[in-house]
Amino acid sequence: MKPQSFYITTPIYYVNDLPHLGHAYTTVACDAMARYKRMRGYDVYFLTGTDEHGQKIERKATAEGFTPQAYVDKVAASFADLWKLLDISNDRFIRTTDADHVAVVQKVFEQLYAKGDIYKGSYEGWYCTPDEAFFPETQLVDGKCPDCGREVEWTQEEAYFFRLSKYAQPLLEHIKAHPEFIQPVSRRNEMIKFIEGGLDDLCVSRTTFSWGVPVTFAPGHVAYVWIDALTNYITAAGYLDDPEKFARYWPADVHVMGKEIVRFHSVIWPALLMSLGLPLPGQVFGHGWWTVEGEKMSKSRGNVIKPEEYAAEFGVDAVRYFMLREVPFGQDGDFSRMNFIYRVNADLANDLGNLLSRATAMINKFTDGRVPTPQPLDEQVEADRLLPTLADEVMDRAADAFDKLAFQDGLAEVFRLVGAANKYIDDVAPWSLAKTDEGRVRLSTVLYNIAETVRVSAVLLAPVITTGCRELWRQLGLDISPLEAGWEAARWGGLEPGTEVRRGDPVYPRYDAKAEAQRRAAAQAVTAAPSASPELAPAPAAAPADVAPPSEEQITIDDFAKVDLRVATVVEAEPVKGSEKLMKIQVDLGWERRQIVAGIAKHYSPADLVGKQIVVVANLKPAKLRGEVSNGMLLAASTTGEPMVLATLTPDKPISNGSKVK
């Protein structure tokens, strides 16, 4: 049987700018998806490339002293270089200046014209002669050219138009009949509204510049944006020169892009395809945007994130992992250096890296460096069957998530397994089993389970951590990459007893989050000097009867700054035995997990707390309460009345664990 095909694309990136975080995000996401599908046995075609024509490029090239071709060659190369660095496995890097693409654009123009869907009309607007550019009324500055400030003239230009209006109804019908066509669903609703508002015909040729694909039947005209850019997806699939390939890959399964260009892909592109009589792509997926440290990313702010710099400092896996793990794909997110370090430390260095090093160290110590043979399943104690069961469940759920481009969910699933394995080691304490004969029988099972969990996790993470997955396997004594082994290699039990492990360096180094936090705090203290103006403080009103009286003592900002308040998520909660009041909770602080004991058991059940984000004092000296270590304190408001009302403090929207509260 022929393997099922899977065709995935990034947009072609416009070469008026060097690649940045936004481009890398789309491309890494598509790469993870392409690799995942290949691991599942699909015949994958993964396309990315560059959009190289237009007046803007022509001008930019001239301004920088290049011919347009030399300019686009230079910028296209910088994209290709970044993809190589980020371990992107695209099957082709298409450029709109490629000869086969130019031929497709010309052919499509002719086909649409022959069909009567392209007609000659005139393009009208305010025209700046020295700039050779049209500007809409709304862009004019004091009625003059926004670029050079000179007078503009109302001008008509002969141009060809595509009958987009004709396709409004068929498009609406298609979108309504195929709920999966535009994702996420919020984008779908926007598009429906947009089309229902009516569609204007689309200008598809220009005569005011020459850096474009010439229209064969209309000398002086070059193809304008849409037909040139969007048809790259069929060029690469072999529309004109490879019918067999075209039958194999077209229609594309998913076009992935930033949300700002969903409209072009879900309105103009399907209308062009309908006119050409070609089937429509399965899905158009618009992902969200990144802010940087809470601010819009822009050149003028000087906060543009260069993926290559992060890759050089933290490694390619860390960059790929952070982007896909930090934010649900489809939503906006914030790129923060501190959260980057927390995330990479917590998941890759601590949870995953630590599990591997515990596994290989114990196998070296207790079973001669060889993977031991586990007991038959029916002789195992129940606790030892937890990981095998969970691993199979996680494998299925991670696949479901990846199939939907829900990378964050899929990765979280895998780390649920990794976390369970670390907890299993803490609970079972394998080193104590080694002391008795009976214990040693079970020890083999325990060590097998731990090593096998690492092996399975490396397979499930392989689409994202493309380098480290191989090293994880290598240290387990396996000589191929999980990417080659395929998704089914994640089935439990694949690790052969007797395999010799190779203890090595940590796969993921741990970064000094504390030093980074101190450096940043120092930088912030300089920019945000406190202004003390007590006369502006409101006069105290009479306090309600059931609250504590206000404090008489004033503190300085420095006093307050000593308290390190952080957001944390409650991951586990249970009442402290023998106490009515105390609850023992495990919290995830971003860079670590820790236990806190709090007097909230009368007010909250464990189920109320798990998954909730709270605020904790992170630098409180540890204390013991009823024999339990409390490493920090959670913040809660409470009344003095009887019965006392108590409410924990929680951020009003989800925010990264470890975020500072001030």
CB of 148 to Zn ion, least distance (A): 3
Nearer to Zn ion, 130 or 530 (CB): 130
Q: Site map for Zn ion, 113-152, x if CB under 5 A?
A: ---------------x--x-------------x-xx-x--
150-179 residues near Zn ion, rule: CB under 5 A: 150
191-220 residues near Zn ion, rule: CB under 5 A: none
* Torsion (CA) 15, 16, 17, 22 in degrees, nearest 10: -70
323-352 residues near Zn ion, rule: CB under 5 A: none
Q: Which residues pair with 127 in a beta bridge?
A: 134, 153
For residues 26-43, one letter each, b for 16 or more C-beta atoms within 10 angstroms of the residue's C-beta and e for the rest, the string is bbbbbbbbbbbbbbbebe
Nearer to Zn ion, 139 or 432 (CB): 139
Nearer to Zn ion, 71 or 134 (CB): 134
Nearer to Zn ion, 150 or 626 (CB): 150
Nearer to Zn ion, 147 or 516 (CB): 147
CB of 75 to Zn ion, least distance (A): 24
Torsion 498-504-508-513 (CA) sign:
positive
What type of residue sits at position 458?
Answer: A
Nearer to Zn ion, 130 or 497 (CB): 130
Query: What distance in Å separates the CA atoms of residue 404 and residue 655, rounded to the nearest whole number?
Result: 24
CB of 128 to Zn ion, least distance (A): 3
CB of 130 to Zn ion, least distance (A): 5
What type of residue sits at position 253?
Answer: D
CB of 204 to Zn ion, least distance (A): 24
List, in sequence order, the alpha helices (H) in 563-615: 606-609
Nearer to Zn ion, 140 or 636 (CB): 140
CB of 60 to Zn ion, least distance (A): 15
Nearer to Zn ion, 128 or 465 (CB): 128
Query: Residues touching Zn ion: how many (CB under 5 A)?
Result: 6
CB of 140 to Zn ion, least distance (A): 10
Nearer to Zn ion, 126 or 335 (CB): 126
List, in sequence order, the alpha helices (H) in 277-406: 307-314, 316-326, 337-343, 354-366, 382-403
Closest CA to 347 of 29, 24, 657, 85: 657
CB of 151 to Zn ion, least distance (A): 9
At 147 the three-state DSSP class reads coil
**Before 643, cis peptide (omega within 30)?**
yes
Nearer to Zn ion, 12 or 128 (CB): 128
Q: Site map for Zn ion, 44-73, x if CB under 5 A?
A: ------------------------------
CB 448 within 8 A of CB 17: no
Query: What distance in Å separates the CA atoms of residue 143 and residue 129, rounded to the nearest whole number?
Result: 15
CB of 82 to Zn ion, least distance (A): 34
* Torsion (CA) 251, 15, 304, 24 in degrees, nearest 10: 30
List, in sequence order, the alpha helices (H) in 13-98: 21-39, 55-63, 68-85
Contact partners, residue 127, CB within 8 Å, separation at least 6: 133, 134, 135, 152, 153, 154, 155, 157
CB 288 within 8 A of CB 331: yes
CB of 31 to Zn ion, least distance (A): 41
Binding positions for Zn ion, rule: CB under 5 A:
128, 131, 145, 147-148, 150
